[in-house]
């Protein structure tokens, strides 16, 4: 039973009191920031990354994973209570969740969301544990050509799944690649696009970039919507669901978990596709579809479970192949690099403590959400009562200090400023910054692998279609791109983002 041995090692790491504490702090901090209206998990992670600098690598990643789950849960809380989702998948949560809150069933909605998430988290933890070794063995077969094909697939998948048109997504990818070029060329040690600025020789740091693109620009975006302050009016009572509620949500939770686990692995799919599919599935098989959108508990339980399962299995490509599948995993890859771990299939074998410790702490993080976080709901709710105008300066200050403390350099604060304004401009142009950040992070790896693949193949570009794995990945990429621009799919895609 190799699997049990791995899980034992993982729990051994994750249950050490330091890591347990870090996981708890992560979950609490993540919820604290994630509960703020309009701030999603990626933004939360970007804002909180500097907190994890001083920690050892394992602890830092465990804390970041905790922050992620906390942020997601915090986002659902805001979606349910005040109908202000922080990320796209929260929109689906808000559909029926907020209706339940309006009918005075906010407590039930919150606890069903947490229970569904814990169940989904448990299943997907086992799924990751079971599939990781196989996938990473497959990953070890990858040479430079296959890596290039995989990265292209990841980039295209993120374009397809992000907001705005495919062409805008392409622009974001290319700009991300351009920004990733800044710095010293690894092979020739030539400075590229540094404009004579000393600080740019090591390239732009991704933390101030991510904080600006997600954090500051999100705040500016939120400021556009008038009305502030007491977003929350109704009281929350009756936290624990009745037996009938549990019975009604059992099967939807099961179905949502299945949908989410599978869809989460797909590169770029993230959580939106999972929640949306789960919601649609529930609505389709329901005998009373007219209740959906009016506070149907199935319409909350299933997508919330799917959301969490997908959030978890989206770590699979990141952990086993070193390939980010969205903004969150891209940030995690960045964090790994800071701690001197080069992401890729070798992580499973070389750092089993890190890998299995992280997998197990994902489950612990989920359990903490239910046991510790849910009873604290009163505190999170009180945050929603703080007027937004007092939160904004606090978040800005936090971002400034975070950006500064990356290298103790003022230059990074300037990057934060520029990235914030740039991100705001991009959102005005209907461009989602996610593909930009993703290609910024994998751009240098892409270039290195591309140059190496061409060297190995004696300059023959056909190498990418002659190798079977690489060809398969590129065909999948092409299929994805074709499907995305097909008129019927495009219409559905727009519907998803409009809803």
Partner 1 sequence: MPLNRDVLTAGLATAFALILLAFGSHLPAGTAVRMGPGFIPRAVAIGLLAVAVLILIKALLARPARADDAAPEAPIHWRGAASISFGVLTFALLIQPIGLLASATATVFFSSLAQQGEGWGERVVLAGSLAAIAGAVFAYGLGLPLPILPNFL
**Interface with partner 1 (CB under 8 A):** 51, 54, 165, 167-168, 170-171, 174-175, 177-178, 181, 185, 187-188, 190, 192-193, 195, 216, 219-220, 223-225, 228-229, 387-390, 392-394, 396-401, 404-405, 408, 410, 413-414, 416-417, 420-421, 424, 428-431, 447, 450-451, 454-455, 458-461
Burial profile 431-457: b = 16 or more Cβ within 10 angstroms, e = fewer: bbbbbbbbbbbbbbbbbbbbebbbeeb
For helices 88-102 and 106-140, the axis angle rounded to 10 degrees is: 160
Q: How many angstroms from the chain centroid is the CA of residue 216?
A: 18
Minimal distance, residue 393 CB to partner 1, in Å = 4
- Cβ proximity to partner 1, 163 vs 283, nearer residue: 163
What distances in angstroms separate CA 281 from CA 54, 87, 116, 313, 380, one per listed residue? 45, 21, 16, 20, 31
Provide, rounded to whole angstroms, the least separation between the CB of residue 321 and partner 1. 22
**Residue 156 CB, nearest approach to partner 1 (Å):** 13
In terms of CB distance, is 227 or 468 closer to partner 1? 227
Tokens of 77: 């809380």
**Among residues 420, 434, 411, 417, which one has the least CA distance to residue 205?**
411
Distance CA 142, CA 317 (A): 13
Contact 260, 279 (CB under 8 A): no
The single residue listed with the structure tokens 């990751």 is 128
Return d(Cα 211, Cα 416) in angstroms, integer. Answer: 7
* Closest approach of partner 1 to the CB of residue 262, in Å: 32
Q: Give yes or no for a contact between 255 and 281, defined as CB atoms under 8 angstroms apart.
A: yes
Residues in contact with 335: Cβ distance below 8 Å, sequence separation at least 6, in sequence order? 49, 52, 60, 61, 64
Which residue number, 455 or 489, has a Cβ lying nearer to partner 1? Answer: 455
Q: Are 153 and 415 in contact (CB under 8 A)?
A: no
Name the residue nearer to partner 1 (CB basis): 54 or 290. 54
Q: By C-beta, is 153 or 159 nearer to partner 1?
A: 159
CB of 296 to partner 1, least distance (A): 28
Which spans in 50-105 are helix H? Answer: 57-82, 88-102
Contact 23, 56 (CB under 8 A): no
Q: Taking the complex as a whole, how short is the minimal distance between the CB of residue 429 and partner 1, in angstroms?
A: 5
Instruction: Report the nearest approach of partner 1 to the CB of residue 440 (Å).
Output: 12
- As beta bridge partners, residue 191 has 184
Query: Which of 441, 407, 395 lies closest to 47, judged by CA?
Result: 395
The span from the CA of 367 to the CA of 364, in Å, is 5
Shortest distance, position 430 Cβ to partner 1, whole Å: 6
CB of 17 to partner 1, least distance (A): 19
Q: Using the 8-state DSSP alphabet, how is residue 36 labeled?
A: S
CB-nearer residue toward partner 1: 126 or 398 = 398
For partner 1, the closer CB: 122 or 405:
405
Collapse the DSSP code of 318 into the 3-class scheme (helix H, G, I; strand E, B; otherwise coil) and give the result.
Answer: helix
Closer Cβ to partner 1, 11 or 417, answer by number? 417
Task: Name which of 187 and 202 has its Cβ closer to partner 1.
Answer: 187
Minimum distance, C-beta of residue 447 to partner 1, in the bound complex (Å) = 5
Q: Which is nearer to partner 1, 363 or 450 (CB)?
A: 450
Q: Which is nearer to partner 1, 48 or 323 (CB)?
A: 48
Number of Cβ within 10 Å of residue 116's Cβ equals: 29
Least gap, CB of 225 to partner 1 (angstroms): 7
Q: What is the spatial distance between Cα 310 and Cα 262, in angstroms, rounded to a whole number?
A: 7
């Amino acid at each position: 039973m190799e699997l049990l041995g791995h899980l034992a090692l993982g729990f051994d790491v994750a249950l050490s009191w330091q890591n347990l504490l870090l996981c708890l702090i992560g979950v609490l901090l993540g919820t604290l920031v994630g509960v703020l209206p309009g701030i999603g998990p990626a933004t939360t992670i970007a804002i909180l990354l500097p907190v994890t600098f001083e920690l050892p690598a394992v602890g830092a990643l465990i804390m970041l994973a905790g922050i992620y789950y906390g942020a997601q849960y915090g986002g659902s809380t805001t979606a349910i209570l005040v109908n202000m989702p922080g990320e796209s998948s929260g929109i689906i949560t808000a559909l029926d969740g907020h209706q339940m809150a309006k009918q005075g069933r906010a407590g039930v909605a919150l606890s069903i969301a947490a229970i569904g998430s814990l169940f989904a988290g448990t299943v997907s933890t086992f799924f990751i544990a079971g599939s990781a070794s196989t996938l990473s063995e497959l990953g070890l077969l990858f040479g430079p050509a296959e890596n290039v094909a995989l990265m292209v697939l990841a980039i295209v998948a993120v374009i397809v799944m992000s907001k705005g048109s495919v062409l805008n997504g392409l622009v974001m990818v290319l700009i991300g690649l351009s920004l990733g070029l800044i710095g010293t060329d690894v092979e020739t040690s030539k400075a590229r696009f540094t404009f004579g600025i000393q600080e740019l020789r090591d390239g732009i740091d991704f933390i101030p970039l991510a904080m600006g693109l997600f954090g500051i620009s999100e705040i500016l975006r939120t400021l556009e919507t008038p009305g502030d302050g007491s977003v929350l009016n109704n009281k929350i009572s009756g936290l624990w669901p009745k037996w009938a509620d549990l019975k009604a949500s059992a099967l939807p939770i099961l179905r949502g978990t299945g949908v989410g686990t599978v869809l989460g692995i797909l590169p770029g799919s993230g959580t939106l596709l999972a929640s949306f599919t789960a919601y649609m599935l529930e609505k389709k098989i329901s005998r009373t579809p007219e209740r959906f959108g009016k506070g149907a508990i199935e319409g909350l339980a299933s997508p919330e479970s799917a959301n969490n399962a997908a959030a978890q299995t989206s770590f699979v490509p990141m952990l086993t192949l070193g390939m980010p599948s969205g903004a969150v995993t891209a940030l995690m890859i960045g964090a790994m690099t800071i701690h001197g771990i080069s992401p890729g299939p070798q992580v499973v074998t070389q750092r089993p403590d890190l890998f299995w410790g992280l997998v197990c702490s994902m489950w612990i993080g989920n359990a903490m959400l239910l046991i510790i976080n849910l009873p604290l709901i009163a505190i999170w709710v009180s945050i929603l009562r703080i007027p937004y105008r007092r939160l904004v300066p606090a978040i800005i200050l936090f971002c400034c200090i975070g950006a500064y403390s990356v290298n103790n350099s003022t230059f990074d604060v300037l990057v934060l400023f520029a990235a914030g304004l740039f991100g705001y401009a991009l959102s005005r142009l209907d461009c989602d910054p996610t593909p930009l950040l993703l290609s910024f992070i994998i751009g240098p790896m892409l270039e290195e692998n591309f140059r190496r693949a061409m060297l190995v193949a004696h300059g023959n570009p056909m190498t990418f279609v002659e190798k079977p794995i690489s060809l398969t990945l590129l065909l999948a990429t092409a299929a994805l791109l074709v499907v995305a621009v097909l008129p019927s799919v495009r219409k559905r895609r727009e519907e998803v983002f409009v809803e």
